[in-house]
Amino acid sequence: MARKSATGRIGIADVALKAGVSHATVSRVMNGNFTVDPEIAARVREAAVELKYQPNPVGRSLALGKTDTIGIVVPDLANPTFQAILRGLSRAAAEDGYRVLIADSFEVPSEEAILAGEARRRCDGLVLCAPRMTDAELEEIAPSLHPLVLINRTTAAAGVPSLVVDYGQGVQDLAEHLAGLGHTRLAFLAGPAGSASNRLRLEGLEAFRNRHPQVEVSMLDGGSDFDTGHEAVDAVLDSGATGILAFNDLVAMGLMSGLHERGVSVPGDISITGFDDIPFARYTTPTLTTAAVPISELGGQAWHQLRALIRKEDLETADTRYQPRLEIRASSGPSPADLAP
């Protein structure tokens, strides 16, 4: 019977002794090296089974130079949008035997570069999801994180594919919808200042205003969570807007809750729109008009791009752009002025 190591764990030395081979031969067999003579390899595997040997995953990773793990950095894991992206990424990666390490920066841009660097050192590749860091910081750090895939950001760094949602067009579609219902005073509850998708929304609204000079669009400070919308009730009411474009669905839901507490009717007095179409959007009261984003598809596609980089395969396309789909529900209705007798 083999003697266990001082830690009480069967190791390579025990298998080598049992099989009558060197430590290096056991290591090659356990790591799938096919240069070992088949008969010797079979003897090693039989010894490993008999001794109930379990390879050390850390040692195996060092030997192979790979961890079978990828990392993802998100700005707020409490947000259902990022949860859905993570779910799509994890499911797709699992099909290829990879696990996902998650890092949450809690909407603190200064933490992202540190988290990204630490995650990359522990993984075979990295997905940066909607990072809040500045463009200059992203350009500086991106080459050191390769293989890297970006979601909702782009970089000039070579070999870094990007998956980007056309938030500018999405918010224009929502604004056009409200204008078509007779709303001439709109307000945008903005997202985090460092959010690239917020900048795209602002650019989209500027294009909308150029086409519709008769429509007033106010800009209100906001954020990305439920509390942001709930706390914005006074600012929204003071703006006099009858149509509100919330940064995302969570903000829209928080705002609808706050307006309900004040006895303000949605959409009778104020129409509300969100963005993303998270699963809860169709179950709010009233149901939420929003711009639907293929969230889970983003996660799955991120893995396919990262897998190609890890395996040094050709990418089908370096950058992919997704168009949001307008989902008209009960939270948007005619302007109160059009309803007046």
Render pLDDT for 288-306 as a digit per residue (tens, 0 to 9).
999 999 988 999 999 999 9
Shared domain check, 247 and 228? yes
In the 8-state DSSP scheme, what is residue 5? P
Question: What pLDDT is stored for residue 319 in this prediction?
Answer: 76
Shared domain check, 177 and 93? no
- Residue 80 maps to which CATH number? 3.40.50.2300
Q: How many domains does the chain have?
A: 3
For residue 338, count CB atoms less than 10 angstroms from its CB and return exposed for 0-12, middle for 13-18, buried for 19 or more.
exposed
Question: What pLDDT is stored for residue 33 in this prediction?
Answer: 63
The mean pLDDT value for 205-229 works out to 96
Shared domain check, 255 and 239? yes
Is residue 3 assigned to a domain?
Answer: no
Question: What pLDDT is stored for residue 32 in this prediction?
Answer: 63
Q: What is the mean pLDDT of the chain?
A: 90
Q: Which domain holds residue 155?
A: 69-165+295-323
pLDDT digit string, tens, across residues 228-237: 999 999 999 9
User: Phi/psi class of residue 270: alpha, beta or left (left: φ > 0; alpha: ψ in -120 to 50)?
Assistant: beta
Model confidence at 5, pLDDT cuts 50, 70, 90, reads very low
Is residue 7 assigned to a domain?
Answer: no
Angle at 149 between CA 92 and CA 194, to 5 degrees: 120
Model confidence at 152, pLDDT cuts 50, 70, 90, reads very high
- Residue 36 maps to which CATH number? 1.10.260.40
pLDDT digit string, tens, across residues 311-324: 999 876 667 899 99
The mean pLDDT value for 264-280 works out to 97
